[in-house]
Structure 1
Amino acid sequence: MTTTGTPAVRTRDAASKSEVLSVGRAAALSAVLVCAGTGMGFVRDLLLAHHFGAGPSTDAFLVSWTVPETVSPLLIEDAMALIMVPVVTRAMLRPNGVSRLARRVAPRLVLVLALLSATVMLLAPWLVRIAAPGVHQASAVTCLRLTAVTVLTFGVTGFMSATLRPHHRFGPPAAIYLAYNIGILAMLLTLAHSWGITSAALGVACGSLFMVLVQLPAFVRVLRRDRGAAPDRAARPHTEQARAAARVEARHVQIAAAAPVVTFTLVRQSQVLVERFFGSSLPEGTISHLNYAQKVAQVPMMLALLVATVTFPRLVRAHLDDDAGRLRRRIEGDLTVVALLIIAAVAYLWTFAPLITRVMFQHGEFTHADSVSTARILRVYSLGLLAQCALGVSVRALSAGRRPSWRTPLAMAAGLTVTFTVAALFSASRGAGALAAGNALGISVAAVLQLVTVRRKVAPIRFGLLGRRLLVTAGCAVAAGFAADRATRLVAGHAAPIVRLLVGGVVLLAVMAAALAVAALVTGAFRDLRGGTAGPDAAAPPDAPQARTDGTGRTGGTDEAGSAPPAGSLPAMRRVNG
């Protein structure tokens, strides 16, 4: 019998701790760079609000901004990453696999994206007329033709990011939005008075080029290192097999994986199109109010999902190792950590929404009435952030295997149907608030359907355990939000708004951390969280029974009565793929 003090176990423990530190460092570096890019984005939005307010010119620009808003998740964050990260991870297992893959995929990708970009430019007048018939057509068309270049540049950016992340190069991909917003700010500061709102569209085009340049050195180094890693003598007879595998991977990128993921991303982004379409028929400035509220609400969501972004390559490796137990712990851990972060953010946004919009946007042409409307929408949007994050984690879990499921776009289509129905029924009477509520409700429906699919097709995630963690966290967040509001009124009631926001944030985090610590001791709901995020079974002795020896995909610790799917319904990879 192996004791816990043997060298094998100590080596296993050290490996697990090293992985935790690696994930933590990558997440911290990414968070710093993303926060810097987000800060620049806030400055960008502040300048837009200051120079142009919330009126017809900003509405026209925001219609053109639909292009980068659509291609960003499609070609950078969601579709491209979900398709390419697993493919690149598998290619790394073969000699020169990544460089061969890049040579086969990149030229075709650039050609297709360049043609799409030119098509958007040519069809700009018709696209504007269809998407937002109520906006100023001439300004929207000019801006759309400038932002159309992002179809090409965002695609190249996403391909580079998806290649760098499996190599644990997280810095350059995390810096892309910092570079992007620097380009926009440069154009706004130099050309806003002479070019008007068109300067912002030109900034989008320039910033997208900066996104490529900031990753180019690291991308070139990765490809050179891959080509320089010559195979040993035993591997040389398999060179032709490696080339054949690269061809298979290239076809996989084009056909098998692309269709469901691309469809999902486009359907998800259609929620914004629904808002813009119905918002164009509401009073002027409605689209701008929706946009500013959404930009603020999405910041904590992006930061929370950094956890899933950093752990995604490890999730792919767990799929490749056919380890259902590790998959379950990884997914449960990601869902829990993301929920902890986003629920705290929702409590803060709901409590201090009026102050947030006042500090950020109420300057120059952006009036007090604009600030109040944006704050009202922000509160409603924040109710859908948890579902947004759960959807992001579950999509990565489903996409880590070789064949992403068509259930993903179907779930998103169901959510979009809910969004459209709510907007069509209530936008005329309830205004922008109905559009935000439809967004939150629709994404919640999609997230629930996705989690059910993950449980059935990927790993036996324990809904009972996750539900208890969610209830405990939500209760702590409500208490923390109430305490932060009261403390801010007592301590800094007459201080400047920015001071009140800082005091409220500190109090909310302190109260929530204390409440979670007490709740964790009392309920034990978070006792295995570290094991869920660490990855390997660090605590298990080497001779312990493996988690999947019974063929059910169950692992030790599945103590939720009735919370796991029945035996035989669960993974192993061949069941996931079949």
Structure 2
Amino acid sequence: MGNTREQKEITRATGVMGFATSLSRVFGLVRDMVVARMFGAGFGADAFFMAFTIPNLLRRFFAEGSLTAAFVPTFSRVYLDQGEAESRRVANICWTLLLLIMAAVTLCGILASPWIVRLIGYGFGAIPGKLALTDFLNRLMFPYIFFVSLLALVTGILNVLGHYFWPSVSPVLLNLAMILSAYFLADYFQTPVVALAIGVLVGGLLQLAIQIPVLRRYGYRFRFDFHFRHPAVRQVARLMLPGIAGVAIYQINIVVTRLLASFLPEGSVSYLYFGQRLFEFPQGIFVVSLAQAVLPAMSRQVALGDDVGFKDSLRYALVLIALVTLPAAVGLVLCAIPVYSLFFMHGAFNYEDVRQSAVVLAAYAPGLLFAGVSRVVVPSFYAMGDTRTPVWISFWTLLVNAGLGVLLMQPYAHVGLACALTLASIFNCSVLLFILRQKLGSLGLKYVLGSMLRILPGTLVMAGFVYEVLQHASWGQAGSFWFKIALLGFAVAGGGSIFAVGCVAMRVPEAAQAYSLLKRKLGWGT
């Protein structure tokens, strides 16, 4: 594969967003540690996680999902073909329209909250006061979707302009707001978990607020513009409407999982949440960053009619996904109990909570590769202006997840629900690749598979090393914190080094390119 300009741009953008997202994920881990220590995995935590499901779901399919996927290719074409002045006009119209729509959605969500909460947390009705608390928390947090939807529009503009850092680092503010609210406001409420909901609301506002000055530096100052019939805006709407359905169906998978978990013993919703949070750690740091970085590049290639470059960018992104997710999935399984034991086993969170969360994470982990591939393949459809195909695939994925969830929750409880989501991710990824190949012809997936086979030996040796190192501590017992954290750090650093050497020995070219980029950024050898 050629070392093209677009590949370098994808790698650079992924690196910038990966670093910024790493920072936010570290704060997210601290936030989850605070939540686990203060609220445990019971009544209040279950209610909060279930309530946060609703605005978080809307964030993903109104904001991060369909809006970004529809807006970035359209805005990129306007910016390249018609210039900055017209791109500013399109930005103003989209801002005005989105502000009106999300104000209406937020109001409707608050008014309809009792029915929505009963629908997704039906099993909570058996526990007095649990549905009422979930409803109150949902109403309190619902305006969060208003702020982060506007944030998604700003992020899309900045990404097209080549600015990635501040949009990627903004979640740090959400995590900080939640941490500080939990520590300083919890004692002021009869139900302490209400403090977390206030943190979500404040964090959403701060995330949007810090982006506006950055945008102004590029000459974009939002003004109301009601010319909603502008061709570019209509194009965004045409792409976004089916995109909403597609991302909504994907997110409904998580809602279905939590709905089924509400019928399981208390704590099941929390176990699934904590398992998913660590599962999303590598996904959020690299996979989401790569998907965001590859969409503008692919959109430019489609606009220029560069089919060869488009496929080349896709293959390159898929190999990078495998390069990160294969060792990450193995590491998640091996390090689950040590990580939960070290950072979460305090206060209200006991060793049984550690063990149950770790088993859920182990069930999620194999799906990391497939979820990562899907994250890159779906923008390929979006870049080509096709948002309908992912909708239908997501719909069938929803049915697969729901069916498997019902079958597996009886014998395996919450672990069965996690396994169902993993199997549904495999189904989703396989069908996406099959249909994309039908549309474009050969994608060169043999090259991707060959790279994965070269990545595998280093992964296996890494796994053996990490497993042996972690046997030297008793993770079920409290104490020896500094020894254990040093041991875990040695296992992770040593395992990562072994994996890197393995990739170099097996001549994985993308690993060498990533290493060269790192050397240049750090000034090594200069």
TM-score, scaled to structure 2: 0.89
- Displacement, 1:491? 10
Question: Matches of 2:473 and 2:403 in 1, distance apart?
Answer: 45
1:390-539 residue pairs with structure 2 within 5 A? 390-401=373-384, 403-458=385-440, 460-489=442-471, 496-520=483-507, 526=509
> Which residue number in structure 2 is paired with residue 7 of structure 1?
none
2-structure distance, mates of 1:147, 1:106: 22
What are the within-5 Å matches in structure 2 for residues 85-484 of structure 1?
85-93=72-80, 94-95=82-83, 96-135=85-124, 136-195=130-189, 196-224=192-220, 247-254=230-237, 256-305=238-287, 306-401=289-384, 403-458=385-440, 460-484=442-466
In 2, the alpha carbon distance for the partners of 1:224 and 1:157 equals: 14
Secondary structure of the equivalent of 1:209? helix
Aligned residue in 1 for 2:15: 28
Going from structure 1 to structure 2, the CA distance change for 1:430 and 1:374 (only over 3 Å counts) comes to: same
Q: Deviations over 1:215-249 (max 9, x none)?
A: 1111223344999xxxxxxxxxxxxxxx9998111
Kindly tell me: are residues 382 and 471 of structure 1, through their superposed partners in 2, closer, same or farther at Cα, counting changes over 3 Å?
same
Conserved in 1, the CA contact under 8 Å of 2:18 and 2:286? no
CA distance in 2, matches of 1:19, 1:316: 11
Note the alpha carbon deviations across 1:148-178, whole angstroms, 9 max, x for none.
1022111101010011100011112112211
Q: Out of 18-27 and 30-39, give the one that drifted further.
A: 18-27
CA distance in structure 2 between the aligned counterparts of 1:132 and 1:374, rounded to whole angstroms? 20
Quick one: structure 1 residues 362 and 459, their matched pair in 2 at CA, closer, same or farther if it must change by over 3 Å? farther
Residue 123 of structure 1 deviates from its aligned partner by 1.1
CA distance in 1, matches of 2:321, 2:159: 20
Give the secondary-structure state (helix, strand or coil) at the position aligned to 1:65.
helix
* CA–CA separation in structure 2 for the residues paired with 1:83 and 1:132: 31
Q: Which residue of 2 aligns with 1:232?
A: none
Q: What one-letter code is carried by the residue in structure 2 that aligns with 1:109?
A: L
Partner of 1:44: 31
Alpha-carbon distance in 2 for matches of 1:358, 1:121: 38
* C-alpha distance after superposition, 1:433-455 (max 9, x if no partner): 10000000001101111112222
Q: Is the 8 A contact 1:114 1:151 kept in 2?
A: no
Q: 1:125 offset after TM fit, Å? A: 1.1
Q: What one-letter code is carried by the residue in structure 2 that aligns with 1:43?
A: V
Q: Distance in 2 between matches of 1:244 and 1:123?
A: 31
Q: Which residue of 1 aligns with 2:44?
A: 57
Query: Identity, % of aligned pairs?
Result: 21
For structure 1, the residue ranges without an aligned partner over 5 or more in a row are 1-12, 228-242, 535-578
Question: Residue 513 of structure 1: CA displacement?
Answer: 1.4
Give the conservation status (yes or no) of the 8 Å contact 2:13–2:293: yes
Kept in 2, the 8 Å contact 1:91–1:246? The answer is no
Q: Which amino acid aligns with 1:222?
A: Y
**What are the Cα deviations for residues 526-547 of structure 1, in whole angstroms up to 9, with x where unaligned?**
489969x99xxxxxxxxxxxxx
Q: 1:81 & 1:530 partners in 2: Cα distance?
A: 28
Structure 1 residues 125, 179: closer, same or farther in 2, change over 3 A?
same
| Shift, 1:26, TM fit | 3.3
Mapped contact 1:179–1:214 kept (Cα < 8 A): no
Displacement of 1:71 after TM fit? 2.4
C-alpha change, 1:301 and 1:121, in structure 2 (3 Å) is: same
Q: Deviation string for 1:99-128 (max 9, x for gaps)?
A: 110222211111111111111111111111
**8 Å CA contact retained: 1:40, 1:181:** yes
Instruction: Indicate how the Cα distance of structure 1 residues 526 and 452 shifts in structure 2: closer, same or farther if over 3 A, else same.
Output: farther
Contact kept, 8 Å, 2:20 with 2:169, in 1: the verdict is yes
Amino acid at match of 1:217: P
Which residue number in structure 1 is paired with residue 521 of structure 2?
none
Alignment partner of 2:218: what SS? helix
C-alpha distance in structure 2 between counterparts of 1:115 and 1:170, whole Å: 30
Alpha-carbon distance change, 321 to 244 in structure 1, aligned in 2, over 3 angstroms = farther
Task: Say how many residue pairs are matched.
Answer: 498
Tell me the alpha carbon deviations over residues 332-369 of structure 1, each in whole angstroms, 9 at most, x when there is no partner.
Answer: 00000111111111111111111011122111101110
More divergent stretch after superposition (142-151 vs 218-227): 218-227
Q: d(CA) in 1 for partners of 2:179 and 2:366?
A: 31
Relative to structure 1, the CA distance from residue 429 to residue 57 in structure 2 (aligned partners, 3 Å threshold; closer, same or farther) is: same
CA shift, 1:20, in A, is 5.8
RMSD: 2.6
What is the one-letter code of the residue matched to 1:513? A
Of 456-465 and 122-131, the range deviating more from structure 2: 456-465
Q: 1:257 to 1:512 in 2, by over 3 A?
A: same
Cα contact 2:340–2:354 (8 A) shared by 1: yes
**What is the SS of the residue equivalent to 1:169?**
coil
Q: Tell me the SS of whatever aligns to 1:257.
A: helix
Cα deviation, residue 385, structure 1: 0.7
Contact 1:282 1:431 in 2 (8 A): yes
Partner Cα distance (1:499, 1:394) in 2: 38
1:180–1:204 CA contact under 8 A, matched in 2: yes
CA contact (8 A) 1:479 1:512 kept: yes
1:199 aligned partner, one-letter code: A
Q: Please give the TM-score of this superposition, normalised by the length of structure 1.
A: 0.81
TM-fit CA distance, 1:419: 1.0
Task: Tell me if the contact between 1:49 and 1:366 (Cα under 8 Å) persists in the aligned partners.
Answer: yes
- The answer (yes or no) to whether the contact 2:215–2:221 under 8 Å persists in 1 is no
Q: Which structure is larger by alpha-carbon Rg, 1 or 2?
A: 1
Do the aligned partners of residues 396 and 481 (structure 1) sit closer, same or farther apart at CA in structure 2, a change above 3 Å counting?
Answer: same
Tell me the distance in 2 between the aligned counterparts of 1:133 and 1:55.
17
Q: CA deviation at 1:138?
A: 1.5
Asked if 1 retains the 8 angstrom alpha-carbon contact of 2:7 and 2:316, the reply is: no
Deviation (angstroms), 1:470: 2.2
CA contact (8 A) 2:73 2:299 kept: yes
Q: Is the 8 A contact 1:282 1:428 kept in 2?
A: no
| 1:193-232 superposed Cα distances (whole Å, 9 cap, x missing partner) | 22211111111111000110111111223344999xxxxx
The one-letter amino acid of 1:200's match is: L
